[in-house]
Structure 1
């Protein structure tokens, strides 16, 4: 029989969150493409129009959720791909913490950018 192999821990929820975030990203990306490529064509998308959209709480919240979800999905995917390639021990721990730090930096900068577009104070 084939041996069961997965970089996700047995009984863990990582695999479930990877699939949930993938489904969410498909829906939000479809919304993004529809809004910014079919409703508004590329030459009609301006910084001012983006600022107006970001001023809407629902749109702003969706974009922040999109940022966090995409960051988790991407970083979790990279981490598990490296584990699948045989990453273990100290290197695995170091990579995990570097990816967590990079994720936090990305999310903080993304929120700062969203706040600037929405006219909110940046921190």
Structure 2
């Protein structure tokens, strides 16, 4: 039988964060679908409604946390998939740096959009 290999160290922080962000994302996505697809139907969603929701501190905070969790979960998952495929050495450091920078830029842009939607900037 083939040996199981994973770049995740099961006692590591990134392994735990990958699992925690997955649970958070599932819960947040369930909330999103319930609120924006069952309570309000797609045809009823308007820009003004989005602004009104983003004005609420709880909703705004949850969306920013969702952004950070989704970005970490995605970037960390892609990085570990590449490491599992054999990425190592200089390439591993460069890809890790590019993915980290991409994640920071994505979070920065997402927060900028969230603040604009909330009418802060």
TM range (shorter): over 0.9
Partner of 1:96: 96
SS in 2 for 1:15: helix
> 1:65-111 deviations in whole A, cap 9, x for unaligned?
00000000000000000001000000000000000000011000000
Partner of 2:19: 19
Q: Structure 2: how far apart are the matches of 1:4 and 1:56?
A: 46
SS in 2 for 1:5: coil
Pairwise CA distance, 1:3: 4.1
Q: Structure 1: how far apart are the matches of 2:34 and 2:4?
A: 40
Distance 1:10 1:57, change over 3 A: closer
Gaps of 5+ in 2: none
For residues 11-90 of structure 1, the aligned pairs below 5 Å read 11-90=11-90
TM-score (norm 2): 0.95
Pairwise CA distance, 1:11: 3.4
SS in 1 for 2:34: helix
Gaps of 5+ in 1: none
Partner of 1:117: 117
Q: Structure 1: how far apart are the matches of 2:11 and 2:45?
A: 45
SS in 2 for 1:9: coil
Q: Structure 1: how far apart are the matches of 2:4 and 2:63?
A: 37
Pairwise CA distance, 1:5: 2.1
SS in 2 for 1:71: helix
Instruction: Give me the CA root mean square deviation.
Output: 1.3
